[in-house]
């Protein structure tokens, strides 16, 4: 898989699937979740999420993208940061793995990820970015060809760029 860093709004990206940083109840919220609901069409997406009902932290579930350019949305639930010794890293790694697995099931070749857990859930951005890059680098997918790490702020973008440069 090719891994790239992008700075901007994930909802406008022309990819097969975008990942949503959702909550366990899949009821929508602020941050990227709110932006995705607005752009996809809140009524349709709420209905699709309600039909699924729940997502365990570290897991991912798929809905259509409705009015998004992306065909699919993978809703994943990141860990709430509680100091780092509550299994946060393993849960965050699982979010990336399970989102790619869901993309593979749907034959999505390109997947865009927000910086899961680094907003409301409080995960330190540098540590989260390292997990994102290391985890995606370790996946050998025969379906997904391209992963975009989408930063919504300049600091996160620079962290992604430096990690990708160091590892490539």
> What's the rounded Cα separation, in Å, for the pair 27 and 48?
10
In the stretch 6-45, what mask flags binding to ligand AR6 with x, by CB under 6 A? Answer: ---xxx---------xxx-----xxxxx-x----------
- Annotated active-site residue 33? The verdict is yes
28: left (phi over 0), alpha (psi -120 to 50) or beta: left
CA atoms of 31 and 20, how far apart (whole Å):
10
Q: Which of 9, 16, 33, 165 does the annotation list as catalytic?
A: 33
Q: Which of residues 107-126 bind ligand AR6 (CB under 6 A)?
A: 114-121
Of positions 133, 150, 159, 163, contacts ligand AR6 by CB under 6 A: 150
Q: How far apart are the first and last CA of the chain?
A: 12
Residues 42-81 that bind ligand AR6 (CB under 6 A): 78
Q: Annotated catalytic sites, by residue?
A: 33
């Amino acid at each position: 898989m090719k891994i790239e860093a992008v700075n901007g709004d994930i909802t406008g990206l022309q990819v097969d699937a975008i990942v949503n940083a959702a909550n366990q109840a899949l009821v929508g919220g602020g941050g990227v979740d709110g932006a995705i609901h607005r752009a996809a069409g809140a009524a349709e997406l709420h209905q699709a999420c309600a039909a699924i009902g729940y997502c365990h932290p570290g897991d991912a579930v798929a809905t259509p993208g409705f009015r998004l350019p992306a065909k699919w949305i993978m809703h994943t639930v990141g860990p709430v940061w509680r100091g780092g010794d509550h299994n946060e890293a393993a849960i965050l790694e699982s979010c990336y793995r399970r989102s790619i697995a869901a993309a593979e099931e749907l034959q999505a070749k390109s997947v865009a990820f927000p910086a899961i857990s680094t907003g409301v859930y409080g995960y330190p951005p540098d540590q989260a970015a390292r997990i994102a890059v290391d985890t995606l680098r370790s996946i050998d997918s025969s379906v997904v060809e391209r992963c975009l790490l989408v930063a919504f702020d300049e600091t996160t973008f620079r962290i992604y760029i430096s990690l990708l440069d160091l590892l490539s």
